Structure 1
C-alpha cells in the first residue's frame, strides 16, 4: 500500500499543495501539529506505525522533508526506522527516495537529507540567536524593561513562548499580520504586541 503523508502546523492551514495528486495513492494520512513533535508521537505517525506492524505499507510519499520533522536527529531516526522495515520514503519536492529499487539504502538521499536538515537547523538557531542578542542589547541599553508592574509575565517569557517564536519567524519572513494570525491562531492584539517588541529588538541590533 502506497501512503501519502501530509502535515500542517495549524487547524486553519490548508494542505492543498500536499494533496494535489492524492488520487494516485491508496491512503492519505494527515497530521495537524507542530513539526517539532516527533513523528511517531503524532496521531498520523502512530497510525502509520500500526499499519507497518500489520505489514500494510510498502511505500510512503511526503511532499517535502520538513513534513517529517524539524529536528535532524528525529528525521534521520524516522527514516532509519522505515529503511529497516524495507519501506521507501519518496520526497516529492526534493525528488529523492530513501531506498533503491532493490531495497538497499540510497546513500545519496541520506547525504542530501542530512545537509538539508543541518541547513534548516542552522537557520532556526540563527533566528533564536539573533532574538537573544537583541534582548541582551536592549537590556544593556535600558530599553528592555522585562516584567512591567501589574503584568503576569516578563517580555522575555512572552517572547519565549512557542507560538510567539513561530509568529516572529513568520513576520521575519515577510508575512502579513493577518497571515500570521491565521497560521498561529493568536489574537490580533497579540500579533501587534509581537510586532512592536520584535521591531524594538531589531532596531537595537
Structure 2
C-alpha cells in the first residue's frame, strides 16, 4: 500500500514546487509532476503512468481537485479506474478521501462545481475576446508564417507541402497565407 502524489500546472511560467512539497509533506513516497492542460486526460503522460501503476490499497493524492480533472467526465473516469483497481483518491485542500461514502459523494459535487467554474471562465474569456474584436484591439496570436515569403516561394514553383517543410510550419498555414494573398490581390 503506497501513497503517490500527482502535481500539475498548465503553463511554463507556473511553479510546481508548492504542490510537490505539499504532496511530500502529506506522505507521498513518489510524486509525479507535469506541465499540461487539465481539460483532458490526453497529453498527460505522468498521470497516465500513475493510473496504470496504482494497485489495490494504494492512494493517489492531489493538492486540489482541478489539478487532477476539470470535467465531471474525466473525474468520473479516473475515480472509476481507481475503484476498479481498489485504490483511493485523496484531495488535500478539501480534506477529501474517496475511501468513505461521504468522500465519494462530496467528490462528485466538487467535480460538478469544477466543471461549472471552467465553463464560466471560458465564457468570460470569449466575451472579452468578442469585446476586444469589436474595439479592434484583439489581434489574435502572431502569424506563424510570413505571407510574403510563402507567396515568393510559391511563385518560384515550390509546392505548398515543400514550403511548409522549408519554413517549418503547418501546411494549413501555407494554404491560408496563399488564400489571403489571392484575396488581397498580391
Deviation at 1:109, TM superposition (A): 2.3
Q: CA deviation at 1:30?
A: 1.1
Match of 1:13 in 2: 14
After superposition, what is the alpha-carbon deviation per residue over 1:162-195, rounded to whole angstroms, capped at 9, x for unaligned? xxxxxxxxxxxxxxxxxxxxxxxxxxxxxxxxxx
CA RMSD, 1 decimal: 2.9
1:46 to 2:44 alignment: no
Deviations 1:51-85 (CA, angstroms, capped at 9, x unpaired): 13xx3761100010111133343233222322333
Q: 2:106 maps to which residue?
A: 108
Aligned residue number for residue 157 of structure 2: none
Q: TM-score, normalised by structure 1?
A: 0.56
Shift of 1:126: 2.1
Secondary structure of the residue aligned to 2:119 is helix
| C-alpha separation in 2, matches of 1:63 and 1:14 | 14
Unaligned runs of 5+ in 2: 145-186
1:35 matches 2:1: no
Unaligned runs of 5+ in 1: 147-154, 162-205
Mark the CA change 1:40 to 1:98 in structure 2 (over 3 Å): closer, same or farther. Answer: farther
The aligned runs of 1:1-205 (5 Å cut-off) are 1-21=2-22, 22=24, 24-36=27-39, 38-39=40-41, 41-52=43-54, 55=55, 58-100=58-100, 106-135=104-133, 137-138=134-135, 143=136, 155-156=139-140, 158=141
TM-score with structure 2 setting the length: 0.61
Identify if the C-alpha distance between structure 1 residues 122 and 10 changes in structure 2 by more than 3 Å, giving closer, same or farther.
Answer: closer
Tell me: CA distance 1:124–1:99, structure 2 relative to 1, closer, same or farther (3 Å).
farther
Q: 2:82 is paired with a residue of what secondary structure?
A: helix
